[in-house]
Amino acid sequence: MGLYPRATDGFELGLPVGVNSNVFYVDTTNGDDDYAGTSPLKAMKTVTAAYNRCTADQNDAVVIMGGDASDTLTASLTWSKDFTHLIGLTSNLPGVGQRARVNGGSATDLAQIMTISGTGCIFRNIQFYNGADAAVDSGAIVLTANRCEFKNVFFSGINNAATVGIRAGAFSLKMTGAHENYFEDCTIGSDTCVRAAANAELILEAASGKNTFNRCNFMSAASTAGKFLVSMDIPISGCGLNSFKECLFYNNSTNWATEVANAFSIIGAGGTYYVDLYRNRLVGVTAWSTVVTHMYSGDPVPDVGFGVAVQPTS
């Protein structure tokens, strides 16, 4: 890749590009926000500074180089520029463990790391981690946008057991009026920090619909059976179809003492909605939902127990 932002840089990253597309680089260890950021040799230090250089609607990209250091935000970032992308320059590691990391810590106690409202944005090989410890609802990402792609992204919220983990409104990913988004090989949640309340790793609200989760992991470490992996708050207008394909719904608890009772919480089920389940698994979770009226599965035995993974007997 050259010393200037070129459309060919985007091509090499597998991104859509136009004649005006730019690529801006971030190196959290060696970068400087006074640099132009137009090459890895002159990378900026923060994602916020690089994002501020981007122009909406021309497929600009921010590339954060993986490493030991994180970009720890001092303020929540609103990603509102349409067709503007964030890519981690790391291995294509699915699920957890991405080394291109955008974090929030206890010093700033962000309500969310980022609010994504820009249409048609691409996010790949990124970890979003919120380590807030204030006793208020918080999470990793709030998504209000449509038609975005997330691949190999780790959404990690609820990372303090004593304060955030005991709050019913805490989350890892909250989607509000978000439509036609695609998630592949992502992890939503974490199995290390205890959740002691009936919160959810993924919240779908305000008629978020036509979203697809493909080969994603939904993870928690709950000390209460009332915990959920997914909460769907269905308004009267409904949210249409949301699809979960080859996903793992998993809860970790000490000595397997507490299994989550239901993977899904469906609120206001009088609205129009459909949940499409195809080749999914429950581990450490007893059933899918107390409300299964509009849940459909390609797996056998379509009742509250379908798709439950059980430990083989000796």
**Residues of the domain holding 239:** 66-297
Rounded to the nearest integer, the mean pLDDT of the chain is: 90
Domain co-membership, 97 together with 74? yes
pLDDT at 31 > cutoff 50: yes
> Same domain, yes or no, for 32 and 76?
no
Nearest to 279 by CA among 219, 214, 220: 214
Q: Cα(33)–Cα(24) distance, rounded to whole angstroms?
A: 11
Specify the DSSP class assigned to residue 299.
S
Same-domain pairing of 200 and 51: no
Q: Round to whole Å and give the CA distance between 118 and 115.
A: 9
Give per-residue pLDDT as tens, 212-245.
Answer: 999 999 999 999 999 999 999 888 777 889 999 9
Distance CA 158, CA 55 (A): 32
Does residue 272 sit within a domain? yes
In the 8-state DSSP scheme, what is residue 25?
E
Cβ proximity of 183 and 212 under 8 Å: yes
Q: Report yes or no: 175 and 202 within 8 Å, Cβ to Cβ.
A: yes
Are both 39 and 97 inside the same structural domain?
Answer: no
Measured CA to CA, the distance from residue 178 to residue 90 in angstroms comes to 28
Residues 6 or more apart in contact with residue 257 via CB below 8 angstroms: none
User: 166 and 291 share a domain?
Assistant: yes
CATH code where residue 291 lies: 2.160.20.10
- pLDDT greater than 90 at residue 314: no
Write out pLDDT tens, residues 260-276: 999 999 987 667 789 99
59 and 70 together in one domain: no
Note the pLDDT of residue 3: 40
Which 3 state secondary structure label does DSSP give 149? strand
pLDDT for 144 equals 98
pTM equals: 0.93
* Residue 100: inside a domain: yes
pLDDT digits (tens, 9 = 90+) for 143-195: 999 999 999 999 999 999 999 999 999 999 999 999 999 999 999 999 999 99
- Rounded-to-integer distance, Cα 247 and Cα 5, Å: 37
Count of H-run helices and E-run strands, the chain: 2, 25
- pLDDT on residue 191: 94
Residue 309 included in any domain = no
